Amino acid sequence: MQGLKRGGIAVIDFGSQTTQLIARRTRELGVYSAVFAHDAAPERIQRQQPAGYILSGGPSSVYEAGAPALPPFLLDSAAPILGICYGMQALAAASGGRVRPSHEREYGPATIRCESSSPLFDGLAVESPVWMSHGDRIAALPPGFAALASSDNSPFAAIGDLSSRRYGIQFHPEVQHSRDGRKLLSNFLFKVCGCERKWTAAAFIDDAIERIRVQVGDERVLLALSGGVDSAVTGALLHRAIGERLVCIFVDHGMLRQNEAEAVTRVFRDEQGMNLIAVNAVEAFLSALQGISDPEEKRKTIGKLFVDVFSEEARKQRGMRFLAQGTIYPDVIESAADSKAATTIKSHHNVGGLPADLRFELVEPLRDCFKDEVRRIGEALGLPAAIVWRQPFPGPGLAIRCLGALSWERLETLRAADAIFTSELAAAGLLRAGTAQSFAVLLPVKSVGVQGDKRSYEEVLALRSVTTDDFMTADWARLPLELLARVSARIVNEVAGINRVTYDITSKPPATIEWE
Ligand code: XMP
């Protein structure tokens, strides 16, 4: 891995909302990048031998007491630096410039004009739309720096010292509203830092296989396979690396969507040839959940029983030393906001809190990857698109989408309605892209209807479809009305027990994505 990571970019985080996006953008360009809190130990950052540094934005003002400062080692570094927004101000302040509050704040779209040629702006239009978000501005340039671009409100929208290869930009090239942002980042990586494009799915797979073999030796590895993207790609990588010595346990808790349990067995055992133990625990879960309608109690009951069922199977695998987990980079990333917190281990709902007699060493081959990279690795490993592009699905599954007390009949009703909704979305091209999470929710509410001249009194179904990048906030998807009409008509005609369909038009906040 060192080889793959060496010569990449260190992103220094000053607390911006878009820090992770900077790292994702550089990786999309084929250059490895890692995020470090601004006060991370310099040795940790330098260990990766970065070819350059990108300083993120942040909410502070550099002249405020206690504001995060440029890590001092950077001033002595020979590697190029690109400061973005607060990062530029921190760089300018530390290099002898002056930063002041601006009379005109700039939030949102702006236009910058190139003022002089530089490798950073090479090939960019003279004028280009960018995204700004700042209240401070540079009042005096540091020695050696020149203005490279300006905007109506920022005479120093971009600055640079070409000889020391240090640059600052007031706008955010990582967001899509900055039209030429990708080109500018590409210029920084390849024309300023001299990076190589070596961070690819194929290179990652070769490297990960090697690392797994070194870690595991001749031993066997256990994996809890859920059918979700992270565990699926972890499984496929391990299977490539150690074949039969990977033992996957898949617990069917009866809360999965239509045909999902069958698909997991078919794909992983039959098509991929993996060593898969499928445990049918549907009855046990249904009886444990009987009469429970409180959402948290549903979660706890499922989580606890899952650990019990998984542990029982795991104990049968004597002498197993390793447990693989689908931990990904956002689970372990250290941000400026919590820079004192130790990196955490993902507490999967399904393997969290294993009993003391089951102690494993963890194998986490995707620890360095963002979700979109995990999907690309999955594709390169030959996993089917339905798995690789699967929308997130909560661990407790349909239990928290079947509101109120559960029964097999109600779950089957929900499964049938959900399958109609998702198949229509897929046909319209809105499942893989266009919506981030789309599903049906069965409400514990009956309403009056009229079907075939007869009065009916049946349950209500809600459709939920959201757009979001990070699942922390979300907006309801503006689905085409014709699509909603078709889905509604099909559900009331094809699914017994539902006579009314509603569409949830609430954003998060104030609502959550799930209903329970
Ligand atoms: P909310 O409903 O909090 O959901 O807006 C945000 C994201 O988290 C998922 N989610 C869960 N995932 N176990 C999970 O594994 C859970 O108990 C759980 N609850 C919510 C939800 O599907 C969405 O992607």
pLDDT tens digits, residue range 467-490?
998 888 899 999 999 999 999 999
pLDDT at 153: 82
402 pLDDT tier (thresholds 50, 70, 90): very high
Could you tell me if the CB of 508 is within 6 A of ligand 1?
yes
Q: 278 pLDDT exceeds 80?
A: yes
- Cβ–ligand 1 distance for 390 under 6 Å, the answer no
Q: Would you say the CB of residue 39 lies under 6 angstroms from ligand 1?
A: no
Over range 74-101, report the average pLDDT. 96
* Each residue's pLDDT tens digit, 348-363: 343 457 888 888 999 9
Name the CA dihedral angle for 247, 248, 253, 255, rounded to a multiple of 10 degrees.
180
CB 148 within 8 A of CB 120: yes
Does residue 371 have its Cβ closer than 6 Å to ligand 1?
A: no
pLDDT band at residue 416 using 50, 70 and 90 as cut-offs: very high
Tokens of 210: 């090697």
Strands laid side by side in the 322-324 sheet? 275-280, 246-252, 221-224, 322-324, 361-363
Read off the pLDDT of each residue in 286-308 and give the average, rounded to a whole number.
96
Confidence of residue 344 (pLDDT cuts 50, 70, 90): very low
What's the whole-number average pLDDT of the chain? 93
107 exposure class (CB count in 10 Å sphere: 0-12, 13-18, 19+): exposed
**Cβ of residue 227 lying under 6 Å from some atom of ligand 1:** no
Q: Which of 297, 471, 476 to mutate to test ligand 1, by most ligand atoms within 8 A of the CB atom?
A: 471
Which residues, 6 or more positions from 473, have their beta carbon under 8 angstroms from its beta carbon?
507, 508, 509
- Decide whether any atom of ligand 1 lies within 6 Å of the 513 Cβ: yes
pLDDT of residue 346: 33
**Does the pLDDT at position 85 exceed 50?**
yes
Mutate to test the pocket of ligand 1, among 347, 513, 515 (most ligand atoms within 8 A of CB): 513
Residue nearest to atom 19 of ligand 1 (CA): 394
The pLDDT assigned to 339 comes to 56
Least confident of 7-11, 137-141, 170-174, 331-335: 331-335
Q: Which residues contact 393 (CB under 8 A, 6 or more apart)?
A: 227, 228, 257
Task: Give residue 1's pLDDT.
Answer: 59
Protein residue whose Cα sits closest to atom 16 of ligand 1: 394
> How far apart are the CA of 338 and the centre of ligand 1, in A?
22
CA–CA gap between residue 369 and residue 378 (Å, rounded) = 12
**Which residue's CA is the closest to the ligand 1 atom numbered 14?**
394
Question: Which distant-in-sequence residues (6+ apart) come within 8 Å of 127 by Cβ?
Answer: 111, 112, 113, 114
Q: Whose CA is nearest to atom 4 of ligand 1?
A: 513
Residues annotated as part of the active site: 85, 172, 174
Q: Which pLDDT belongs to residue 69?
A: 95
pLDDT tens for each residue of 16-35: 989 999 999 999 999 999 99
What pLDDT, on the 0 to 100 scale, is given for residue 469?
A: 82
Residues, the chain: 516
Rounded distance between C-alpha atoms, residue 339 and residue 28, angstroms: 25
